[in-house]
Chain A
Amino acid sequence: MNALNVVLLVVFPYVAVIVCVFGVAYRYRRRGFSVSSLSSQFLERRQLFWGSVPFHVGILVVLFVHALAILFPGVVVTWARDPVRLLVLEVTEYVFGMSVLVGLGFLIFRRLANPRIRAVTSGMDIAVQLVLLTQVALGLWIALDFRWGYTWFAAVLAPYLWSLVQLSPETAAVFALPVTIKLHIIGAFTLVFLVPFTRLVHFVVAPLHYLVRPYQQVIWNWDRKAIRDPNTPWSRTRPVNN
């Protein structure tokens, strides 16, 4: 039992993160063509709205709150000491969690029911959706069954994750957690593991730099002024998109 715990809660997280980092780097640099959101809106528009929007908005909020709790456990606990605040936090998280679940449900239904979408569905797409579904369902179940997660999350989970980061895993508390929570942790690292092999990779290339770039883009294949100047060394007229 302990060996299994070690494999799944200590070894697997490391494997998942390493695979994710190197896999994404490789795919981005060498297989750039395969990095896409693979949007299927072009084939089906209406159902997608009811799936994609609640799912994405929900998951962004949920992940954001998770990230806060992991990065600043102390702050979150202190802030949420007031029961009203804690309630607000839990309810918000739960509502957005439900929105993820409903959206995902729509998306899975659409993927299976619409023949056009089935035509652009790969096995990995289904796999990702099933893992996500399990993960979200577990999360919602945990939120109900082990309420006031922000206290134990800060006391048990955040230190565990930080200990992993610091390469000196502290596992006693985590190994003692109920199996649903353990599955949720394993699910999370499964998703991390899957990023380089699936369409999940699209969130890595979320185009936030759009906000700071000028609208128009012109690319010169060489420095157009230098190339007319016979005194410029060739190394400085290197094509810029090469």
Chain B
Amino acid sequence: MSATSPKDVRSQIAMVFHLDKCIGCHTCSIACKNIWTDRKGAEYMWWNNVETKPGTGYPGKWENQDIYRGGWEVTADGVRLKGAGKPKSLTNIFHSPHLPVIDDYYEPFTYKYLDLIESAAGDDQPTARPISMITGQPMDIKMGPNWDDDLSGSPDYARQDPNLERLSPGEREAMFQLERMAFFYLPRICNHCLNPACVASCPSGAIYKRGEDGIVLINQDVCRGWRMCVTACPYKKTYYNWSTGKSEKCILCYPRIESGQAPACMHSCVGRIRYLGVMLYDAAQIEAVASAPEAEVVQRQMDMLLDPFDPAVIAAAQANGVADSTIDAAQKSPVYKFVKQWHLALPLHPEFRTLPMLFYVPPLLPVMATVSQVDRGEQSRQINPVGKHWPDTWLYDTTTKELFGTIDDARFPLEYMARLFSAGDSAAIAGCLKKLMAVRLHRRRETVGDVAADTVATALADTGLTPQLAEAIYYLTSLAKFDDRFVIPAAHREQATELLEFTGDVRGATGFGFKAGSAKRGA
């Protein structure tokens, strides 16, 4: 894919989350919390959070940039930050008008467990009252980080989903009919964007992208708490620590990555939905891609991701200082396969124009059955009166003959998915879903055998797949082992140290790891 030869090849640790596999268990969130954010001022932060869609998410309605003014917008003179930037990051410094407050997330709480033990004996059972982790005072819990899990409180949450805006009232109602009701999970972490709005908005220059692997970090010693990044990140993945007065964000477990381990959320993922690998891209195109017309953003972003097998790309990468082991990892990258080879994964809200490097395989959520009304009278009468049976008259019928008919008629309107993953391009979503369906049909024939050979052949041909490709997708989706899912470039132990320290400094030091005060006798 080097129609024009790449000018500035860099490597980026990129990710794919396969949404069909997410079971919404929040293990990832807990793993992250335990390691990084179990601290004062960070209790409310979930660098990794899992949302139910449709839903308003965390913080509430984060996708609605009329409220939060995150991300970039295209104006007559190019692309610029919506709610921050020059000069807004300075003029809004005394009071930032679009900054979320803690109640947009939730007030962190714990319980007074000691009361259970220490209350005086009485007539009533003692209770552990909830207390605020900010003030320490008793409080009423009004919100949690996943308050709308599994569509709970739908009228307040699911129906307020900003992505429903484009749907007709009829379509919306259809989504919320009880027998059609469906949801899926959307796990989110920082996207370690190629055009990060957080970096661009920081007046102190505390946020930066690491050249070697593209991880976006906030230097805690340089951050001054001007909190513009919180406004600017359209995904609300920078968080203000109200106790230390510094902003924090997902660090992609860089200490683990540097030593060749997968980030904690990915390592612990129960559904094994997460993939991580290297992508090579042409940094010279960032600005052009970020200012492309909305309908082209996704395609242009895909085009700036380079083919790691192309000799021209390899040569350009080497000339630019990308390590051979990194190029090797890019060739084995599961992300490259999902995103570039199979076109199965799309970025979340590409219209925010930060060029996110976390891609999602949209959930197929196929209509695997139809529901119809039948008379169960006879059946009910046959059942022992003590035996449990559903007294209703609905029949859940799983014999569907349709191939792709079910995709256009999916439980989620394609339009809705398109708002999330393709800046409104329903055809791109349909393309992904049809492929996923074709792979399923193919495997169904292999394992169960109740799908006709020509049906499978048509399905594969329609989506440009071959049986081999379908097998490869199936393998990486369902069977892939740890090392297939996480291809992290050789750790370069010799250089990994240098990411933190300059080893030349400790040469001739005492050998205890101290740099300061080492006796360099006779030096």
Contact = CB atoms under 8 A, between A and B. Distances in A.
B498 interface: yes
Contacts of A78: none
Contacts of A37: 224-226, 245
B245 A41 contact: no
A36 B94 contact: no
B95 A48 contact: yes
Nearest to B85: A215
Interface residues of B, number: 60
A233 to B, nearest CB: 10
A56 interface: yes
A44 B103 CA distance: 9
A87 to B, nearest CB: 29
Given A36-B245, A42-B102, A52-B94, A211 B199 contact: no
Contact of B135 (A115, A211, A228, A242): A115
B128 interface: no
Nearest to B324: A228
Interface in A27-79: 32-33, 35-45, 48-49, 52-53, 55-57
Interface in B191-250: 195-196, 199-200, 202-205, 207-212, 220-227, 230, 240, 242-246
Given A217-B209, A235-B504, A205 B204 contact: yes
B90 A33 contact: no
Contacts of A176: none
B203 A210 contact: yes
Task: Give the secondary structure class of B's interface.
Answer: loop
Contact of B95 (A41, A209, A242): A41
Interface string A191-212: 0000000000010010111110
A53 B90 contact: no
B286 to A, nearest CB: 8
A234 B507 CA distance: 12
B225 A39 contact: yes
Nearest to B204: A207
B101 interface: yes
Contacts of B227: 39, 41-42
Interface in A137-155: none
Contacts of A211: 86-87, 90
Given A219-B209, A220-B212, A224-B211, A33 B246 contact: yes
Interface stretch (A10-18, A116-124, A178-186): A116-124
Nearest to A40: B242
B205 A217 contact: yes
Contacts of A227: 321, 495
Nearest to B139: A115
A41 B208 contact: no
Contacts of A222: 495, 498
Given A35-B224, A42-B227, A222-B498, A217 B208 contact: yes
Given A36-B225, A211-B87, A227-B321, A41 B99 contact: yes
B95 A219 contact: no
A216 interface: yes
Interface in B40-90: 81, 85-87, 89-90
A83 to B, nearest CB: 34
Contacts of B205: 207, 209-210, 213, 217
B318 interface: yes
Interface in A78-108: none
B464 interface: no
B501 interface: yes
A221 interface: yes
A42 B244 CA distance: 12
Contact count band on A? 35 or more
Contacts of B212: 220-221, 224
A36 B224 contact: yes
Contact of B320 (A225, A239, A242): A225
Contacts of A55: 94
B94 A207 contact: no
B512 interface: no
Interface in B160-213: 195-196, 199-200, 202-205, 207-212
B259 interface: no
A3 interface: no
Given A42-B240, A118-B135, A225-B321, A234 B504 contact: yes
Contacts of A48: 95
B203 A119 contact: no
A45 B318 CA distance: 50
Contact of B221 (A32, A207, A210): A32
A44 B102 CA distance: 8
A39 B222 CA distance: 15
B209 A52 contact: no
A52 to B, nearest CB: 5
A49 to B, nearest CB: 5
A73 to B, nearest CB: 30
Given A52-B94, A234-B504, A219 B208 contact: yes
A218 interface: yes
A45 B502 contact: no
A53 B95 CA distance: 7
B499 A221 contact: yes
A120 B94 contact: no
B135 A116 contact: yes
Nearest to B101: A45
Nearest to B223: A36
Nearest to A235: B504
Contacts of B85: 215
Q: Which 3 A-B pairs have the closest CB atoms?
A: A224-B321, A32-B221, A207-B203
Given A41-B95, A53-B94, A202-B225, 10 more contacts: A39-B226, A41-B101, A210-B86, A210-B205, A220-B211, A222-B495, A224-B320, A234-B504, A239-B499, A242-B502
Interface of A: 32-33, 35-45, 48-49, 52-53, 55-57, 115-116, 118-120, 202, 205, 207-211, 213, 215-225, 227-228, 234-235, 238-239, 242
17 contacts: A33-B244, A36-B224, A36-B225, A38-B225, A40-B242, A45-B101, A53-B94, A55-B94, A119-B136, A207-B93, A208-B90, A209-B205, A215-B199, A216-B195, A218-B211, A222-B498, A224-B320
Interface of B: 81, 85-87, 89-90, 93-96, 99-102, 134-137, 195-196, 199-200, 202-205, 207-212, 220-227, 230, 240, 242-246, 286, 318-323, 495, 498-499, 501-502, 504
